[in-house]
Amino acid sequence: MAIIGGVGSIYTRGLWDFAFCRFLVGTSFDNCFMIMFILVLEYVGPKYRSLIGNISIALFYGGGAISLPWLAIWLGDWRRLLWVTCIPLLMIIFIPFTIPESARWLSSRGRTREAIKVLKRFERINGTKIPQDVLDDFIVSSNKQKDSNESLKDGFKSPPIRKMIIYMALTSMGGAVIFDTLVRLTEGLGFNFFITFTLVSATEIPSVILVAFTLDRLGRRNLTLIPVITTGFLILAAASVPKGTARVTLAVLARFMINMMMTAVTQWATEMFPTAVRASGTSLMHVISFAAIIASPFIAFSERLWYTLPFIIVAGIAFSAGVFTLQLPETKGIPMPQTIQDAEKLIQMNMFCRNRSKSDEGLPSEKS
């Protein structure tokens, strides 16, 4: 879909045919990114999830963002730029032969034999052997789920999961709007657009690498809350200084922080959804976030009314997203839920731990 839409865009002549081709490209986005991200997280144990899942984002997404403006300048034509960015997508023809299906998803659908074939393939590649008792437990668990066929609709029927989805959606929407608005405000920061875009894009690599190495130490909630609140303060500071080096510096730092927040949220959401609805659930988060991004051009345009207004709006969104973050369950070091019941237990366990810590605050210490 990305190749068809991308190449088709080159030959468009008007607004509506161009918009249709970009719609085709858009249908490929979650498939190209989130599905692969989910597969990686499902096949890697909790100890290495953050490292393995995020290093590739830092290197390849960050590297692509940095090179894009200079590639555009070098080619000097948007149609040629589309040719260069579409051709590498031909690698997709190798995906069915190299990427295994999710054994977790196959298991959740009761397709136990196919799941075992995938696991046996991993045994051959890794040169390891799955203990027979573990494999037997896996088969029993898969057979129990054979007739469940859980869907995202079932997730919304569960009050704790419904509440989790709403708060995660609000948090994700806030981060997406901040991220996109900062990109749109780049041209008004007082520096050359291409240089400023490169600087703020360059924050992708160190910020995501930092997340990869600290997410399992600080936790998902802290590594979402702290960066988004810091982003709010940095943006307020940027509003109080004139255009130029100082504002660009603060904008770059804000982009660094929001990169951290969005990276943590992406993994956090993936870890909260049960296997049967993980892909559809995370895709829903993206759809809602993209819908929210519709507001970002208007936020950037509000500069015409008052030059500090977009900064104040974005800061307010950042602080609101921080509040929503506090309502979500921590998933650090916890196995990813397989069923809706597992996800409910995860949420209830977090609420129990939180309530217990609050009650313990009022208890006297051992020394006293």
CATH of the domain at 215: 1.20.1250.20
In a domain, 133, yes or no: no
Backbone angles phi, psi at 45, to 5 degrees: -65, 160
In a domain, 126, yes or no: no
Q: Which residues contact 330 (CB under 8 A, 6 or more apart)?
A: 219, 220, 221, 350
The pLDDT tens digits of the residues spanning 270-286 come to 888 887 778 788 888 88
In a domain, 244, yes or no: yes
The total number of structural domains that make up the chain: 1
Question: DSSP letters along 307-322, please?
Answer: TTHHHHHHHHHHHHHH
Per-residue pLDDT at 74: 92
231: pLDDT strictly greater than 90: yes
Percent of the chain clearing pLDDT 90 (strictly above): 21
- Look at 50-64, 75-89, 191-205, 255-269 and tell me which has the smallest mean pLDDT: 191-205
How sure is the predictor about 194, in pLDDT bands with cuts at 50, 70 and 90? confident
356: pLDDT strictly greater than 60: no
In a domain, 28, yes or no: no
How sure is the predictor about 362, in pLDDT bands with cuts at 50, 70 and 90? very low
Per-residue pLDDT at 274: 83
**Per-range mean pLDDT, top range of 38-47, 213-222, 226-235:** 226-235
Per-residue pLDDT at 149: 65
pLDDT, average across residues 1-18: 92
The closest alpha carbon to 330, from 347, 317, 345, 307, belongs to 347
How sure is the predictor about 227, in pLDDT bands with cuts at 50, 70 and 90? very high
The closest alpha carbon to 286, from 301, 268, 266, belongs to 266
In a domain, 37, yes or no: yes
How sure is the predictor about 189, in pLDDT bands with cuts at 50, 70 and 90? low
354: pLDDT strictly greater than 70: no
Report the mean per-residue pLDDT for the chain: 83
CA quadruple 282, 178, 192, 233: dihedral positive or negative? Answer: negative
269: pLDDT strictly greater than 80: yes
pTM, full prediction = 0.74
pLDDT, average across residues 233-240: 89
In a domain, 11, yes or no: no
Read off the DSSP letter of residue 127: T
How sure is the predictor about 364, in pLDDT bands with cuts at 50, 70 and 90? very low
242: pLDDT strictly greater than 90: no
315: pLDDT strictly greater than 90: yes
pLDDT, average across residues 301-323: 90
In a domain, 114, yes or no: no
Of residues 321 and 30, the one with the higher pLDDT is: 321
Q: Which residues contact 303 (CB under 8 A, 6 or more apart)?
A: 185, 188, 309, 310
In a domain, 43, yes or no: yes
What is the domain extent for residue 260? 33-101+149-356
The closest alpha carbon to 332, from 221, 195, 208, belongs to 221
pLDDT, average across residues 18-46: 84
State the Cα–Cα distance between residues 239 and 318, nearest whole angstrom.
Answer: 15
Per-residue pLDDT at 228: 93
